[in-house]
Amino acid sequence: MRRFPNPRLTGLGGGLFSAASMVALACLDLLLFGGSLVVYGVLFLPVCALTAVWVRRADLVTAVVAVPIAFAVGLLPLADGAGGVGGRLMGLVTALATHAGWLYGGTLVAGLIVVVRKVRQMSRRRAAQRRAAASVAQPRRRTA
């Protein structure tokens, strides 16, 4: 049975991974589906999950912060706007407002994965502390 790769990204690496993935997926969406924001939103969910799974334990919180930023960065190629930078910015704000459900859903996915990973990390640490305390309290036997 083949397992998924298990990279451990730093907080910055997780942010770059999610932003680059969303820009690439937005360009792919633009080519294949004409810039459908629903397709973009659906593709956002697995990127959120992968970012939350692949980030290092020390940087867990950054996954929840990075994915909404990546959503906004990835929307830049898809944002409809006429009239230069101002029009493009207005299209971005409109897309963010009208498709906020995908943004909230993806952030929730990342948040739930991060919470589960943090709880598992804390329970492992507590179990290790209990084992260490038990081994110190237990008298050593002499072998002959």
Residue 14 scores a pLDDT above 80: yes
Structure tokens at 50: 């992968």
pLDDT in tens, 73-114: 999 988 887 778 888 889 899 999 999 999 999 999 999 999
User: Any bridge partners for residue 9, and if so which?
Assistant: 55
Structure tokens at 32: 């294949």
Residue 140 scores a pLDDT above 70: no
Residue 137 scores a pLDDT above 80: no
Predicted confidence at residue 55, as pLDDT, reads 94
Using a 10 angstrom Cβ sphere, with 0-12 exposed, 13-18 middle and 19 or more buried, the burial of residue 143 is exposed
Residues found in the chain: 144
pLDDT in tens, 30-74: 999 998 999 999 999 999 999 999 999 889 999 999 999 999 999
Which of 103, 109, 14, 16 has its CA nearest to residue 63?
14
Residue with tokens 């309290």: 137
- The mean pLDDT of 117-138, rounded to a whole number, is 87
Residue 6 scores a pLDDT above 90: no
Secondary structure E strands in 32-141 = none
Backbone angles phi, psi at 55, to 5 degrees: -75, 150
Which of 34, 56, 28 has its CA nearest to residue 114?
56
Predicted confidence at residue 51, as pLDDT, reads 95
Predicted confidence at residue 138, as pLDDT, reads 74
Which of the pair, 24 or 84, is modelled with greater confidence? 24
